[in-house]
Chains A and B, each alone.
Chain A
Amino acid sequence: ELKVEQNPLFLSMQEGKNYTIYCNYSTTSDRLYWYRQDPGKSLESLFVLLSNGAVKQEGRLMASLDTKARLSTLHITAAVHDLSATYFCAVDVVWGSQGNLIFGKGTKLSVKP
């Protein structure tokens, strides 16, 4: 059974601090996505990681993918309150012309002043 495990599930940070969210998965895949979800809203795409060693940065967020270790990280630098949200990683499992996203449970981030 494919599993996608995120940790931590809850994260309370002080503004200005750094932290990393981890996403481990149990099957071979070289495509991983990070999404942000605000309360009552749908998913907002943050990063698309398409190969081993991929690293992408946008503002205070940086995501990386290690397909050999089956691990992706989302690093937060100098957190600000606006980053408070729930963050999901999702692994793309593809076979032939079909494919599904398998989501982690999400990490609820709360950034406090």
Chain B
Amino acid sequence: GAVVSQHPSWVICKSGTSVKIECRSLDFQATTMFWYRQFPKQSLMLMATSNEGSKATYEQGVEKDKFLINHASLTLSTLTVTSAHPEDSSFYICSARRGTSGYNEQFFGPGTRLTVL
């Protein structure tokens, strides 16, 4: 149990276009989902926390108008990178927390590699 999927696994797009990444919890309900970004040879950086039915909470320095997060159901959160630029190229990883307690473990998706040309 506790499987998280992401789609697509990789995407290449032209500068100026928008890209949507989906994160799904396949066998559990996730009240809270998290979006991380990882640059090559670096650690994971939390971008935002997404709670079902409410607005996402963004970390300092993350542009909310650029990285749109929608958590419309207990099994799906989406991250849309709007007007993507080459500097947005990165590995995006989502995670989902089962249940409502802040003590519950996060389960990570397989990641989405975004390349902006």
- Which residues of A, 30-72, contact B by the 8 Å Cβ criterion? 31, 33, 35, 40-43, 45, 48
A15 within 8 A of B: no
- Which residues of B, 22-57, contact A by the 8 Å Cβ criterion? 32, 34, 41-44, 46, 49
Q: Which of A35, A41, A94, A101 has the most CB of B within 10 A?
A: A101
Q: Which residues of B contact A97 (CB under 8 A)?
A: 100-102
Bound-complex Cα distance A106 to B41 (A): 9
- Contact present for B103 and A31 (CB under 8 Å): yes
Bound-complex Cα distance A7 to B105 (A): 24
- Contact present for A103 and B44 (CB under 8 Å): yes
Query: Separation in Å of the B16 CB from the closest CB of chain A?
Result: 27
- Contact present for A88 and B100 (CB under 8 Å): no
Bound-complex Cα distance A103 to B47 (A): 13
Bound-complex Cα distance A108 to B46 (A): 20
The tally of residues in A whose CB lies under 8 Å from a CB in B reads: 24
Bound-complex Cα distance A92 to B106 (A): 10
Bound-complex Cα distance A95 to B107 (A): 19
**Residue ID in chain B nearest A30 by CB atoms:** B103
**Residue ID in chain A nearest B44 by CB atoms:** A103
- Contact present for A88 and B44 (CB under 8 Å): yes
A105 within 8 A of B: yes
Q: Which residues of A contact B105 (CB under 8 A)?
A: 33, 45, 48
A96 within 8 A of B: yes
Q: Which residues of A are interface residues toward B (Cβ below 8 A)?
A: 31, 33, 35, 40-43, 45, 48, 88, 92, 94-101, 103-106, 108
* A/B interface sample: 28 pairs, CB < 8 A: A31-B103, A33-B105, A35-B108, A40-B113, A41-B110, A42-B108, A42-B109, A42-B110, A42-B111, A43-B93, A45-B108, A88-B43, A88-B44, A95-B102, A97-B100, A97-B102, A98-B49, A99-B97, A100-B46, A100-B49, A101-B34, A101-B46, A103-B43, A103-B44, A104-B43, A105-B43, A106-B42, A106-B43
Known contacts A41-B111, A98-B102, A101-B34; can you find 17 more A-B pairs with CB under 8 A?
A35-B108, A41-B110, A42-B110, A43-B44, A43-B93, A45-B105, A45-B108, A94-B102, A98-B32, A99-B97, A99-B104, A100-B46, A103-B43, A104-B43, A105-B43, A106-B43, A108-B41
